[in-house]
Amino acid sequence: MQKKLPLLITTGEPAGIGMDIVLLLADTGKLQDFARPIWVTADHTALQKRADMLLAAGVLRSCPRWQTVDLDIAADNFLEQMPQQTHMNTHDGHAFILLNTPCAQSVICGQINTRNSAMVAQQLEIAHQLATYKAIAAIITGPLQKSALIDADIRLPDGTMFSGHTEFFMQQSGCDKVVMMLANQAMKVALVTTHLALKDIPAAITANNVRQTVKIVIDDMQEKFGLMQPRILVCGLNPHAGEGGHLG
């Protein structure tokens, strides 16, 4: 327990449900299930306001307690700002540690404000830096509104339009290819393409792209899931993709 690295939860779009999910998990004690310290990126004032709102609505039984840490991600000693506790947050009465990521303007639940989009991107930058420094075990991302970041002219590291978490972390990590996987106990679904306009998908499904995807899936099934001989099925772009190339 003492050696387990924290999990980092980015709450994403402040007007969305990311903060609600964290507060509900904390209120019901579900964050303890991870048996690790939990770090959360959010705006402290917005989080407290949301907690008060959910409490008044009877959604929360009580307001969870958290410890707030103010960050300067531009500082040379960024990592030294991180909390040094290696025990579970609940040992000191805190459900999680909040890495305060301030919004530019007040948050109104359910109303997107592009002035706060920079804060959403900053959460991802914090997550990337902590993962790079190996200060956290994994990143859990709350939902963001891609259109809000695009409208705010926030771009991916290569200067292209912001298209999602997947592309952001891929480019920040210097990777040419990553695979998004949706998983449960019954099956796991990996995607050859991510976050593309439907009209651009056929051109993106090349033999090499499929080959790379399958190889990554097999390697990770063996390394991360312990499946030495995984059964891989490849689905086509449409139901007739196997008609000898005539229809698919």
For 143-178, what is each residue's pLDDT tens digit?
999 999 999 999 999 999 999 999 999 999 999 899
For 92-121, what is each residue's pLDDT tens digit?
678 999 999 999 999 999 999 999 999 999
10: CB partners within 8 A, 6+ apart = 18, 40, 41, 123, 124, 126, 127, 139, 140, 141, 142
Residue carrying structure tokens 């989009």: 117
The per-residue pLDDT for 26 is 96
Q: What is the mean pLDDT of residues 45-58?
A: 97
What whole-number distance in Å separates Cα of residue 54 and Cα of residue 36? 26
The per-residue pLDDT for 86 is 46
Residue carrying structure tokens 């007040």: 106
- Indicate if the pLDDT at residue 199 is higher than 50: yes
pLDDT band at 191 (very low <50, low <70, confident <90, very high): very high
What whole-number distance in Å separates Cα of residue 46 and Cα of residue 144? 16
The per-residue pLDDT for 91 is 53
- How far lies 196's CA from each of 47, 72, 179, 191, 193, in Å? 32, 34, 14, 12, 7
Name which of 96, 71, 73 is nearest 85 in CA terms.
Answer: 96
Q: Which residues pair with 184 in a beta bridge?
A: none
DSSP annotation of 231: -
**What residue ranges in the chain does DSSP mark as E strands?**
7-10, 38-42, 66-70, 96-100, 138-141, 180-183, 188-191
Whether 114 contacts 152, CB under 8 Å: yes
- The domain spans of the chain are 7-176, 178-248
The rounded mean pLDDT for the chain is 90
The per-residue pLDDT for 181 is 94
Architecture of domain 7-176: 3-Layer(aba) Sandwich (3.40)
What whole-number distance in Å separates Cα of residue 214 and Cα of residue 58? 47
The per-residue pLDDT for 1 is 44
